[in-house]
Every structure is written in structure tokens, then in C-alpha cells.
Amino acid sequence: MSWSARDREVYQEIELWRQSLNERSGNDLTNVYSKWIERSFSLLPEDIKKEIFAHIDTSLFHIHSTMQGFQLQQDERENILRTAKAFDDSIMQVEDIRRLTIDQLNYLSLQQSGRHRLYSFLQGGIAGSGGAAAFLSDLVALLIINIRAIQFTASAYGRDVHTPYEMTIALKVFHASTLPRKFQGDAWDDLIDTLNHVQSDYFFTGSDELTNERWLEGPGLQLFKTLAIKMFKNKRAGGYPVISMAIGATANYQLTRTVTEYAERFYQYRYLIEKNS
């Protein structure tokens, strides 16, 4: 099926966005932190490093698969299907959603990304309130919110993340979108290369490794947010640590905004390439 004028326009938007990834670079502080992470891990034996990252990868797969069993997850999937049926009443399952136009798919996706950005914003505000439990749970909550956001972006573009292939692809998108920005361009190219070597639509036959030293910089940068929250937690207005809450909310929102934009561009790209093949 050939592209419409709108399809070509969106493809150009994706190309410009991809070029912008090459222009991103860290500031002096993040570059120092990046070198420190690299130096620290270089001191570890290779087998220890592999074991650490294997454990992290396994945890991510478990989180992803566990979330799929939640009733809330299933209800939201049904909501996506119901909204899609408003555009085309012949849609019966997630894969049928791909029959919609790029703008209709974008509408479905933006509903999900907007909701998850709000969740992330609120979670950051709670973390910034200074409570010990809220602070400790922030990283886990961010992990769940952003994986969930990618799952539903995938569903909005007609991808069934219950299958091993789509589950692995979604987690690779999560990995790429949560890398430090200077690495996201190369990660995008790796994702596209993965798509170009598909051997099965159900089972993933490539490398399922997700995390590495570069990826750890992303979660590690949350420490800077934590330090900022701690610095201002005693600056209160009306009994609330407003500055700390604003720092937490803004940092979390920006992360989820980056993740959802990355996922949106990736699934748009897949849709367009498959439509044109």
C-alpha cells in the first residue's frame, strides 16, 4: 500500500527528529558522571558485569509480563480497542488497529502518553514531598509508569505486547528511550536494524540483551534529582516543600515525555515502513 501525503509528512518529521538525536550532548556534570560510571565498571570482571546486567534484564522482563496480567492493564487495552472501533467498526483485535490512518493512530497514542505523563508528574510531586516511603518507591514507580506507557503506545499502533517478539521490542524501546540523550541516536539505529532482520513475528530471534553500562547512567542520574529534592525539602510554603515537589514533578515529567515521544516515533516508523513494503 502506498503512502498518503500525510504519511510522507510524518515520515519527514521522524527523519528530522532522528537527526536531532545526533545534536544532543551531555553537560559537563553528566559527562563527568558518565566517565565515572565507565571507569567504575571497567574495574569489574567481565563475568560479574554480565551477571549484573542479566539480573536487571530478567527483572525488566518479569515486570513487563507481570503487568500484562493486571486487570487494569486489560481494561485499558479494551479501552484502546473501543476507541479504535469508533474509527472503524470492523476492528476486532489489537492487530486490526493497523488499518487506521496515521493520524487516527496518533490520536490513540496521544491519549495514552498524555495520561502517563500526568502519572509521572504526580509521582514526582509525591517523591518530592520528602516522605521516606515516597522517595524509595520513586524509581520503581518510574520504571513501571514508563514501561506501561510504551506498552500502550505499542497497543495504540496495533502491536500485541503479549507476544514474545513485541514484548522484547517494547523493552528495547524502553532501554533506548531511557539512555542518556547522547546515546539515543545510536540506539535508534540499533532498533531499526533489529526490525530489518525479523525472522518471526511471534518469537524474538535476535539478541535480547537490554541493559549495559550506558543504560545505568540514566537511572543513576536520578541521584541528582534526589540531591536537589533533599537540598530544598526544608523550604516550605504552607507546610509543603513546594520547591522539592516541583523538582520531582518536573524531572519525572520530562523523563516520561522523552520516553513517550521516542516510543511514538518508533511505532510510527514501523507502521509507515510496513505500509510501504
* Confidence at residue 5, expressed as pLDDT on a 0 to 100 scale: 94
Mutual angle of helices 102-127 and 132-156, in 10-degree steps: 180
Cell matching residue 216: 545505568
Distance CA 215, CA 96 (A): 34
* Confidence at residue 134, expressed as pLDDT on a 0 to 100 scale: 67
The answer to whether 247 touches 229, Cβ cutoff 8 Å, is yes
CB neighbour class for 25 (10 Å; exposed up to 12, middle 13-18, buried from 19): exposed
The answer to whether 115 touches 122, Cβ cutoff 8 Å, is no
Q: What pTM, to 2 d.p., does this model score?
A: 0.89
pLDDT per residue, tens digit, the chain (277 aa), is 789 999 999 999 999 999 998 876 656 566 676 777 777 777 778 888 888 888 888 888 888 888 887 888 888 899 999 999 999 999 999 999 999 999 999 999 999 999 999 999 999 888 887 666 666 688 888 999 999 999 999 999 999 998 989 999 999 999 999 998 888 999 999 999 988 877 667 667 667 777 787 887 777 667 777 777 877 777 777 777 888 888 889 989 999 999 999 999 999 999 999 998 7
Distance CA 91, CA 94 (A): 8
Of residues 72, 73, 100, the one with CA closest to residue 85: 100
Distance CA 166, CA 243 (A): 40
CB neighbour class for 28 (10 Å; exposed up to 12, middle 13-18, buried from 19): exposed
Q: Up-side HSE of residue 19: CA atoms within 13 Å toward CB?
A: 6
Within 8 A by CB and 6+ apart from 113, the residues are 149, 153, 260, 261, 263, 264
Q: Tell me, what amino acid is at 159?
A: R
The answer to whether 188 touches 21, Cβ cutoff 8 Å, is yes
* Confidence at residue 252, expressed as pLDDT on a 0 to 100 scale: 92
Within 8 A by CB and 6+ apart from 193, the residues are none
Distance CA 249, CA 118 (A): 9
Give DSSP secondary structure letters for 140-205.
HHHHHHHHHHHHHHHHHTT--TTSHHHHHHHHHHHHHHTS-HHHHHHHHHHHHHHHTT---SSS--
